[in-house]
Chain A
């Protein structure tokens, strides 16, 4: 561990490499987290199947790519498929959880995640997968820093999607309906907004966002049917740090997490990278709660 620290000290370019890679993957985290915050803020449900949505999006796009579809087609395809899945899940499961104890929704969406994992493993195989990409890389500082062009494309597309979504929420009529329901569901329903449809739109939209994030991520990062939970936990952690409905905060927290994770993976060893993510989650929650406690409050 200390030797790895020493390497970082002697080769600062390596640190730069870790930071850049962290920022690039951070955009994928940001998109999934933004979707989670949306569902959480509007329906008061924490979607534990968030990571499985991302994984499914990735697997669909890999399947599409294997059949010769280009990236600009596989991403909307995955988003559309996930939108349909979100709609289906909403009317079969989520609709019964609205207004119920949060524990029920956490458990039920955990159930959805478990079902999805094994179904995905059956349909797509349980192996780690990545879509073939042929864009190559840029090389800097005597080849000490290598930036995959595909990762840059994924980064830009994720940020672009996030901004589009924020614009949709603030400008379009449907987006305004979502925000109205999030703030005052009773008032919104008196004004003739069908809250259930808005909840459905929110949940399906979130699934589509995750699908797109997964489809983009699959071109540069590994996708695994059982690998969803870490994305869920990352999303949750980012939302806890950034707060609900704050895209700027979500992006900063997500990029920060990406960088921190990469450094931790290098310093502690990659086998501890996931442990670091979960450990960081606990640390973040404990720290936030400790600060609140001093004001006689607590995380609730």
Chain B
């Protein structure tokens, strides 16, 4: 089976610090893949490389067979990769629902549709997803006035409304009320099974990622340390070492 996302030997250095050293990962279509590693191990750098936020020094990134490592952020997004951030990024000056409306699958809409008002169908789609993440009550509030956790959920809903082929999530449960974490995981699983969404997830919360992912990559000091099923990773001596050593 060919992978949907194939990262091969990606290297990125900032000055003298090598943040990614010949990292290779592969994400099959329809899978949920986890990316773990101690702080500063290069996880977010890899996300930035895949989504085009930063140029890479060497290596190749292929998405559905197409080389995307030279494309600009917008082109990669329109190819079908959408990400969320550790610190949620929403449009603070827009209402919660408008955040959804402006995020809805624009890559599939041709440009004239930009000069139309959001129709009932688009509003229904936005509200459905707001309901899905439990923010429907907040739809008329300025997104900038939402709490951190609410913004995080809104960002997830925005990403889903874009109907990407692949979703990159940077610590989706960090900063979210612990009571809500289980429901977030549940929703991500539903998004994966119901919408056929492929997920690549950075997560620090080990129980979360062990529960969510089918396959896990572990980075340390910019290089790939180990990969395998959650069980294999949990019992990997190198992984345990990296975490204990870093702690």
Direct contact of A and B (CB under 8 A): yes
Interface residues of A (CB under 8 A from B): 295-296
A172 to chain B minimum Cβ distance, whole angstroms, is 30
- Residues on the A chain within 8 Å of B54, using CB: 296
- Residues on the B chain within 8 Å of A296, using CB: 52-55, 72-73
A300 to chain B minimum Cβ distance, whole angstroms, is 13
- Residues on the B chain within 8 Å of A295, using CB: 55
B72 to chain A minimum Cβ distance, whole angstroms, is 7
Which A-B residue pairs are the 4 nearest by beta carbons? A296-B55, A295-B55, A296-B52, A296-B54
Q: Mark B42-69, 1 if CB is under 8 A from A, else 0.
A: 0000000000111100000000000000
B37 to chain A minimum Cβ distance, whole angstroms, is 24
User: Chain B: interface secondary structure?
Assistant: loop
The tally of residues in B whose CB lies under 8 Å from a CB in A reads: 6
B93 to chain A minimum Cβ distance, whole angstroms, is 13
- Residues on the A chain within 8 Å of B52, using CB: 296
B69 to chain A minimum Cβ distance, whole angstroms, is 10
**Cα(A296)–Cα(B68), bound, Å:** 13
Interface residues of B (CB under 8 A from A): 52-55, 72-73
**Cα(A295)–Cα(B69), bound, Å:** 11
- Residues on the A chain within 8 Å of B73, using CB: 296
**Cα(A295)–Cα(B54), bound, Å:** 7
**Cα(A295)–Cα(B72), bound, Å:** 10
Closest to B48 in A: A296
**Cα(A296)–Cα(B52), bound, Å:** 7
A116 to chain B minimum Cβ distance, whole angstroms, is 34
**Cα(A296)–Cα(B56), bound, Å:** 10
**Cα(A174)–Cα(B176), bound, Å:** 46
Closest to A295 in B: B55
**Cα(A296)–Cα(B53), bound, Å:** 7
B47 to chain A minimum Cβ distance, whole angstroms, is 14
**Cα(A296)–Cα(B55), bound, Å:** 6
**Cα(A288)–Cα(B52), bound, Å:** 20
B59 to chain A minimum Cβ distance, whole angstroms, is 15
7 CB < 8 A contacts A-B: A295-B55, A296-B52, A296-B53, A296-B54, A296-B55, A296-B72, A296-B73
**Cα(A296)–Cα(B54), bound, Å:** 6
- Residues on the A chain within 8 Å of B53, using CB: 296
B2 to chain A minimum Cβ distance, whole angstroms, is 27
B61 to chain A minimum Cβ distance, whole angstroms, is 13
A289 to chain B minimum Cβ distance, whole angstroms, is 14
- Residues on the A chain within 8 Å of B72, using CB: 296
Closest to A296 in B: B55
**Cα(A295)–Cα(B48), bound, Å:** 13
Closest to B71 in A: A296
- Residues on the A chain within 8 Å of B55, using CB: 295-296
**Cα(A121)–Cα(B223), bound, Å:** 66
**Cα(A296)–Cα(B73), bound, Å:** 8
Closest to B54 in A: A296
**Cα(A142)–Cα(B244), bound, Å:** 81
Closest to B72 in A: A296
A91 to chain B minimum Cβ distance, whole angstroms, is 32
**Cα(A68)–Cα(B73), bound, Å:** 65
B164 to chain A minimum Cβ distance, whole angstroms, is 20
Closest to B70 in A: A296
**Cα(A296)–Cα(B49), bound, Å:** 11
A296 to chain B minimum Cβ distance, whole angstroms, is 5
Closest to B52 in A: A296
**Cα(A193)–Cα(B53), bound, Å:** 37
**Cα(A226)–Cα(B52), bound, Å:** 46
**Cα(A214)–Cα(B54), bound, Å:** 44
B82 to chain A minimum Cβ distance, whole angstroms, is 17
Closest to B53 in A: A296
Closest to B73 in A: A296
A67 to chain B minimum Cβ distance, whole angstroms, is 56
